[in-house]
């Protein structure tokens, strides 16, 4: 009995899903794949032993394989369309942030003319006690915020630019250090947030990128934790 070699179908399936572009070894579309399958199927039906024909189960299995391959290609086409729509939506969302202030992961806070940029803290869980320290260029603590208990989520703060001794902080860049406790133990599942203004948007292969200036640099759209 002449049957359709399973290795032939497997080869077709692998060629379709691997993305090989050699014209002598690959099939570039579902239509070409269907034509090849039907040619093989007709050849099988014409050359089978009439005393021992292909069983219904074997024929069904062969038809199921070509149906699966066709379905996969249609699914890929659908996913490509969805991806394109997501990219367009992301680009519009990023463009809407131009000249907007945002909070992203970082520990820098800037001071100019006795005014500081906002900053924030993101907590994964509720904490019992929280302390934020502002550090000078030499690493010394120049300002301390005792915040007590905080709930999980994002919290934003503004510093009045005054040091612990009541004098005005010098213009420049300062760093944030956070200490938190939960159930009597140190809690580290947190992130400090820095403020930046979106001065530009770039569309790249990996998605929209936001330019936040020389201190924070370029970040991805999903890095934005809060829009101010």
Span 115-174, pLDDT tens digits: 899 999 999 999 999 999 999 999 999 999 999 999 999 999 999 999 999 999 999 999
Task: Give residue limits of the domains in the chain.
Answer: 6-95, 101-227
What was the pLDDT predicted at 57? 63
DSSP H stretches of helix in the chain: 6-18, 30-47, 56-95
Burial 205-220 (b: 16+ CB within 10 A, else e): eeebbbbbeeebeebe
Higher pLDDT, 193 or 9: 193
Please give the CATH architecture assigned to the domain spanning 101-227: Sandwich (2.60)
Structure tokens at 57: 């189960």
What was the pLDDT predicted at 39? 74
Flag whether the pTM goes above 0.75.
no
Higher pLDDT, 214 or 12: 214
Tokens 């936001």 belong to 210
pLDDT band at 37, cuts 50/70/90? low
Name 202's bridge partners. 209
Per-residue pLDDT reduced to its tens digit, 119-129: 999 999 999 99
Q: How far apart are CA 8 and CA 175, in angstroms?
A: 64
* Terminal Cα-to-Cα distance of the chain (whole angstroms): 75
Q: How far apart are CA 124 and CA 110, in angstroms?
A: 26
What was the pLDDT predicted at 7? 45
Mean pLDDT, range 42-62, rounded to an integer:
61
Of 228, 214, 195, 226, the residue nearest 119 (C-alpha): 195
Name 129's bridge partners. 181
């Amino acid at each position: 009995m002449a049957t359709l070699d399973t290795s032939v179908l497997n080869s077709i399936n692998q060629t379709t899903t691997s993305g090989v572009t050699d014209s002598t070894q690959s099939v570039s579309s579902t239509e070409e794949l269907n034509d090849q399958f039907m040619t093989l199927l007709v050849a099988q039906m014409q050359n089978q032993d009439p005393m021992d024909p292909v069983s219904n189960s074997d024929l069904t299995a062969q038809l199921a394989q070509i149906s699966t391959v066709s379905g996969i290609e249609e699914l890929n086409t659908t996913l490509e369309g969805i991806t394109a729509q997501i990219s367009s939506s992301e680009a519009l969302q990023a463009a809407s942030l131009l000249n907007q202030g945002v909070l992203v992961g970082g520990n820098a806070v800037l001071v100019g003319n006795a005014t500081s940029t906002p900053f924030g803290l993101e907590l994964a869980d509720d904490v019992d006690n929280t302390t934020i320290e502002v550090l000078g260029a030499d690493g010394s603590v120049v300002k301390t915020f005792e915040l007590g208990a905080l709930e999980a989520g994002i919290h934003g703060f503004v510093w009045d630019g005054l040091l612990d001794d009541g004098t005005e902080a010098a213009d420049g860049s300062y760093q944030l250090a956070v200490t938190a406790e939960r159930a009597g133990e140190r809690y580290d599942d947190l992130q400090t947030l820095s403020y930046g203004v979106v001065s530009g948007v770039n569309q790249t292969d990996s998605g929209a990128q936001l330019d936040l200036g020389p201190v924070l640099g370029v970040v991805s759209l999903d890095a934005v934790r809060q829009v101010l």
